[in-house]
Structure 1
Amino acid sequence: MSKIILITGASTGIGLETAIQLAEQGHKVFASMRNIEKSTLLKQTAEKRGVKLNIMQLDVLDDQSIANCISEIIKSNERIDVLINNAGAGFIRTMEQASMDEIKQVMDVNFYGPIRCSKAVLPFMRKQKSGHIINISSVGGLVGQPVNEIYCAAKFALEGLTESLATYLEPYFGIHISLIEPGGVITEFGNNLTNYFNSTGGILNDDYKPLMENYMGYRASFTDEVKEKVFQKPAQIAEIIIKCMNDPHPKVRYMSSEGVATFTKVKTSLDPDGEILKTQVRKGVLNK
């Protein structure tokens, strides 16, 4: 059955590929982005692959922008079946080096953005007693990593939010909520991350210099050739998102690869998909 789907951050990478694949499967896809002028690649890809998309302006930092987008979707379709919170941004810098404005921005995009969008669709999903919110997290939402602590903190927060909502949204309102946890993916995400780091001073001449040199050397080891062998492609992550969406009994979490499962095994081996803990909490707190 065709679904009405809204995806954020669809101008490139995982968002773009997910929007295209969903449209190829016959769903009505509203592919949104903050700057509509950056929709050229999405339009070209859609035309090349013979699919139709509804391209929308939506800034996850702007409540009114979100309300306008969802209002238009509801007005023309009278429902919304799936929200894919894909928009996000990375950040390289130690906590001490980072400004509070930078820290707030990372939290705003990666955590408050999904909250804003989810709060906006939930009234409609509750009314229709169905829906699925899919949050694009990261391996960084499960394992804290050096020099990425602010980004990891935002994704950890998203994981905690999702796990908590999963305990009651489905039994009380028929709404599923899930996490997708990719590792390394070949997109512009990494390049944007490095470009921002370099544009804001790069490796500073302070006590953290040896740490930053070590870490940036590690990042430099991921050449294009290495990425082709080790990293996943956006199309592969899109397939996992669609698998999650089509699952008759969606899990809390979907890791994107065996590599992610191995990297997070110490923390997740007893409950890799999050279902055991969700059920345990439901029974203990809600008697459900």
Structure 2
Amino acid sequence: MKRVVLVTGTSSGVGFESSLLFAEKGYKVYASMRNLKKADRLKEKIEEGNLDIDILELDVTKVDSIKGAVDTIIGKEGRIDVLINNAGAGFAKAVEQASEEEIRWVTEVNYLGTVFCTQAVLPHMRKQRSGQIINLSSVGGLVGQPFNELYCAAKFAVEGFAEGLAAYVTDAFNIKISNVEPGGISTEFMNSAVEKTAVDGKLASGEYLPIFERYLAGNQQRAAESVEQVYQTGREVAEVVLDVAENENPPMRIRTSEWAQNLCELKTKADPDGTKLVDQIKRSFL
């Protein structure tokens, strides 16, 4: 029997590549996205490879949309074995210059979407006494970064959510929880972050301008240093996601490149994969 996987945010980037890779490896894939008008490239790949992928509409900021997609999968398959909480969006703007709408949006897309998608699949995984939830977190979930404080806060929240959940659902219901933590990804994710922020004329102004210019220059320099794997491809990150899904004892957290590992070393050296911390949480509270 094929394992059934639901992937969110599959119109591009890691979600797109994960959908293709999991299908190539024999999974039944439900690839979801907010805007089905962006599904043409995925449809072409499905047809080219004769891949077992169904495309679903799912907006992670809308609970009814999430529930509808999950109900559709359960109605067809009777189970969901793997949830990949991939949907997210970059955001780079000083908190002082961000609007209330932007602050709510970055939190909803990058944190609450993960919570509500997880909430929707948990009853089914609990009933089947098995399941795996893989969150596309970020090195920004461990290390705060300039002009990314709002994005990092959302990813820090994902990390805490996953740690707390893993402390009790894994042993009780055989539901495994992991956070995959890339550094930079050379996909539309990066482009959208710049589009939504730097080019709107609001960020690069006032006393923040010289600091932000240094920040952008650093990003450009790191992007040129491909030999150090600063910015990975979506496919490279998707391969890490697949490795986690096929690991009988998956890590609580895993970085996807040497650069990401080095950036987070001060936070992770004592417990690189997070399993010691989860064990300590269990001993302390359960």
Q: If the TM-score is normalised by the length of the shorter chain, which range does it land in? A: over 0.9
Q: Paired residue for 2:192?
A: 192
Q: Paired residue for 2:275?
A: 275
1:25-44 map, 5 Å: 25-44=25-44
Name the SS of the counterpart of 2:207 in structure 1: coil
Q: Paired residue for 2:83?
A: 83
Q: Please tell me whether the aligned partners of residues 186 and 227 of structure 1 are also in contact (alpha carbons under 8 angstroms).
A: no
1:84-233 map, 5 Å: 84-222=84-222, 225-227=224-226, 230=229, 231-233=231-233
**What displacement does 1:50 show?**
3.3
CA distance in 1 between counterparts of 2:278 and 2:94 reads 33
**What displacement does 1:269 show?**
0.2
Residue 57 of structure 1 aligns with an amino acid whose one-letter code is E
Name the SS of the counterpart of 2:197 in structure 1: helix
**What displacement does 1:229 show?**
5.8
Name the SS of the counterpart of 2:51 in structure 1: coil
Q: Please tell me whether the aligned partners of residues 94 and 203 of structure 2 are also in contact (alpha carbons under 8 angstroms).
A: no
Name the SS of the counterpart of 1:214 in structure 2: helix
Tell me, yes or no, if structure 1 residue 261 matches structure 2 residue 261. Answer: yes
Name the SS of the counterpart of 2:97 in structure 1: coil
Q: Which 10-residue stretch deviates more, 262-271 or 48-57?
A: 48-57
Q: Please tell me whether the aligned partners of residues 203 and 213 of structure 1 are also in contact (alpha carbons under 8 angstroms).
A: no
CA distance in 1 between counterparts of 2:203 and 2:119 reads 39
CA distance in 2 between counterparts of 1:198 and 1:94 reads 10
Change (3 A) 1:166 1:144: same
Structure 1 stretches of 4+ moved >4 Å:
none
Name the SS of the counterpart of 2:248 in structure 1: coil
CA distance in 1 between counterparts of 2:271 and 2:90 reads 27
Name the SS of the counterpart of 1:135 in structure 2: strand
1:59-74 map, 5 Å: 59-74=59-74
Name the SS of the counterpart of 1:179 in structure 2: strand
Q: Where in structure 2 are there 5+ consecutive unaligned residues?
A: none
Q: Please tell me whether the aligned partners of residues 159 and 179 of structure 1 are also in contact (alpha carbons under 8 angstroms).
A: yes
CA distance in 2 between counterparts of 1:116 and 1:99 reads 24
Name the SS of the counterpart of 1:260 in structure 2: helix
CA distance in 1 between counterparts of 2:248 and 2:228 reads 33
Name the SS of the counterpart of 2:59 in structure 1: coil
**What is the CA RMSD across the aligned residues, in angstroms?**
1.4
- Give the alignment's TM-score, normalised by structure 1: 0.95
Deviations 1:25-55 (A, max 9, x none): 1111000000011001111222233323100
Tell me, yes or no, if structure 1 residue 285 matches structure 2 residue 285. Answer: yes
**What displacement does 1:215 show?**
1.2
Name the SS of the counterpart of 1:221 in structure 2: helix
Q: What percentage of residue pairs aligned between the two structures are identical?
A: 44
Q: Where in structure 1 are there 5+ consecutive unaligned residues?
A: none
- Give the alignment's TM-score, normalised by structure 2: 0.96
